[in-house]
Chain A
Amino acid sequence: MYVFLIRRVLAAIPVVVVVTIFVFALLHLAPGDPAAIIAGDLATAEDVAKIRAKLGLDQPLMIQFFTWAGQLLRGDLGNSIFSAHPVSQLIGQRLEPTLTLTVMTLFISILLAVPLGVIAAWRVGSWIDRGVMGFAVFGFSVPGFVIGYVLIWVFAIELDWLPVQGYTPLAKGFWPWLSNIILPSVTLALAYMALIARITRAAMLETLSQDYIRTAHAKGLATPHVLLRHALHNAAVPIVTVIGIGVALLIGGVVVTESVFAIPGLGRLTVDAILRRDYPVIQGIILVFSGAYVLVNLIVDMLYTVLDPRIRY
């Protein structure tokens, strides 16, 4: 067990290293002089030189990389070009809204999508199954920002039930916090739900065709018991895998959704950084997001051994 855990953690290291090299290389692979582009059209040659020195672009490539990687290991993501604040501090300030949004979305998605997938597989070919599959295609096709605006239009403008935009920290009361986070979470959850419902249905169909399911039915077990204890338990590994992989989708969606709902999280920080071409901030956010992705999938892999004791690496 522990050998497996240690091996799995070690396997994540190359991925993290590749991500770091990649993020570093982007700055150098991009066409044109990054310093000139970051400085903008109105900058003088002096400004460009200043930015180049600030980013260390005047140093040899290997020295640049090891200086940067060394700082990373100490948790130093560099300073914003625009505000001169440390990037780690900027990210820390924006973490709460983004975490709230993603956790809420995960909660909604799993709570709704897994039962939908189970029911669709149980009643395969019925109108419920068709409805779930139709929803899956729909949720996967309609972009988050379009859904977001439709929801705002219906629930905030026409019906006036929920606030249009913004974010209230949990510290300022439960309802103000919840009312602001409902629409963005539902928006973000739709694509994720489509993915999870689809894979749950597929995995359930696979297990429901097994002999032991027929046996369970034959010996008179109640259907819910067969569906949940026998079938879903055995279908859990692919479902959990997709929940982990889908986090990449979720992170991409966070940036767009926060922008639609004016939530001051990491997504908004990204958009502001794009407009100001604040590259160290963009770099830092990518690293944090990728790190989160690697971590989530590490946890998912460890869950495998809990869900399916046969799995050994």
Chain B
Amino acid sequence: MSGASESIAIPDAPPARAGVVAFLRRHPTVVIGCTLLLAIVIASIAAPWLGTVDPISINPGQRLKSPSAEYWFGTDRFGRDLYSRVIYGGRISLIVGLSVAALATVIGLAIGLVSGYLRAVDAVVMRVMDGMMAIPAIMLAIALIALSKASVLIVIIAVALPEIPRVVRLVRAIVLTIREQPYIEAATATGTSLPRILLRHFLPNALPPLIVQATYICASAVLIEAALSFLGAGTPPEVPSWGNIMAEARPYFQLKPMMVLLPGIFLAVTVLAINLVGDGLRDMLDPRLARKM
């Protein structure tokens, strides 16, 4: 799909920058994804200054209002402003998405490195990972959350846990291919220490696919958090998130479909944007992978 010139786009030399511009021109979807994602991130951070009111203040006199100049998206069954709730809801999705991506990648990287280097540990670790992958992600998260008090932290842990095996497998596969390379043998022979080998030789090889994987994990985490909140096993009801706004609006769906659809559209656009950015990163950082997908 993309030529060799893009794969050197990481260093800071001027030709590399020209490569990025050329790359973006050939991949307009990446530009769309980045723009959308940036807009959502800014909206979430700047939520208090975007004409929102307190997303959890109850106003029983204004229940279930249709969209108007005062309430742009209408109000919910407690008279809370839906526009404010949806904008603030983005914060939870992004926090969960980023934290899960970071947590799963770091833990997966550590386990994958150990597993790839120590053959004795490898067999056991991989069987555990196989077992974890046999449990559907949402079910694993549900089981954890059902046993804990609802909080954003528990949701992050519960969503990150099933993502770990995917990272472990990726890191392990990279370690297994690299450790057989002649330059690693040369480095070991000249007495390079293991931490230095990992840092200087392994990390540069593993980073591009890891970044791509982390982006996809982020997208999947946003989806799973929303699904969990929608099922009533996610963020606590007092914290507005797209999933629980939709869940609360469900009984009124036939009367006011927009109450359910609006937060859903925000959710879908966010996940789409993250996936588009992920596809772009993949094509840019790892052309070999791009051809396979």
Which residues of A line the B interface, CB within 8 A?
14-19, 21-23, 26-27, 30-32, 34, 37-38, 137-138, 140-146, 149-150, 152-153, 157, 164, 198, 202, 248-249, 251-252, 255-256, 259, 270-271, 273-275, 277, 279, 282-283, 285-286, 289-290, 293-294
Q: Which residues of the partner chain B approach A149 to less than 8 Å between Cβ atoms?
A: 246, 253, 257, 260-261, 264
Among residues of B, the one whose C-beta sits closest to the C-beta of A288 is B139
- Contact among A21, A145, A282 with B143 in the assembled complex (CB-CB below 8 Å): A282
Q: Which residues of the partner chain A approach B14 to less than 8 Å between Cβ atoms?
A: none
Size category of the B interface is: 35 or more
The segment out of B52-60, B84-92, B100-108, B129-137 that lies at the interface is: B129-137
A143:B143 contact, CB within 8 angstroms: no
A304 vs B230: C-alpha distance when bound (angstroms): 38
B267:A37 contact, CB within 8 angstroms: no
Q: Which residues of the partner chain B approach A273 to less than 8 Å between Cβ atoms?
A: 146
- Contact among A37, A252, A275, A282 with B136 in the assembled complex (CB-CB below 8 Å): A252
Interface of B is mostly: helix
B131:A32 contact, CB within 8 angstroms: no
Quote the shortest CB–CB distance from B48 to chain A (angstroms): 27
User: If A23-B135, A31-B148 touch, does A141 touch B257 (CB 8 Å cutoff)?
Assistant: no
User: If A149-B261, A152-B253 touch, does A26 touch B144 (CB 8 Å cutoff)?
Assistant: yes
A147 vs B80: C-alpha distance when bound (angstroms): 25
A275:B232 contact, CB within 8 angstroms: yes
The segment out of B110-118, B178-186, B268-276 that lies at the interface is: B268-276
How does the 8 Å CB contact mask read for B133-165 relative to A, with 1 for contact and 0 for none?
A: 111111110111111110000100000000000
- Contact among A23, A32, A38, A274 with B231 in the assembled complex (CB-CB below 8 Å): A274
Quote the shortest CB–CB distance from B162 to chain A (angstroms): 9
B127:A18 contact, CB within 8 angstroms: yes
27 A–B pairs (Cβ distance < 8 Å), ordered by A: A14-B131, A18-B127, A23-B143, A27-B147, A30-B144, A31-B154, A32-B147, A143-B264, A146-B264, A149-B253, A150-B264, A198-B293, A202-B292, A248-B133, A248-B134, A255-B227, A255-B231, A256-B231, A271-B231, A279-B146, A282-B143, A283-B143, A286-B140, A290-B135, A290-B139, A293-B135, A293-B136
Within B221-245, which residues are at the interface with A (CB < 8 Å)? Answer: 223-224, 226-227, 230-233
A36 vs B185: C-alpha distance when bound (angstroms): 56
- Contact among B135, B147, B148, B293 with A286 in the assembled complex (CB-CB below 8 Å): B135
User: If A15-B127, A277-B146 touch, does A142 touch B136 (CB 8 Å cutoff)?
Assistant: no
A110 vs B85: C-alpha distance when bound (angstroms): 39
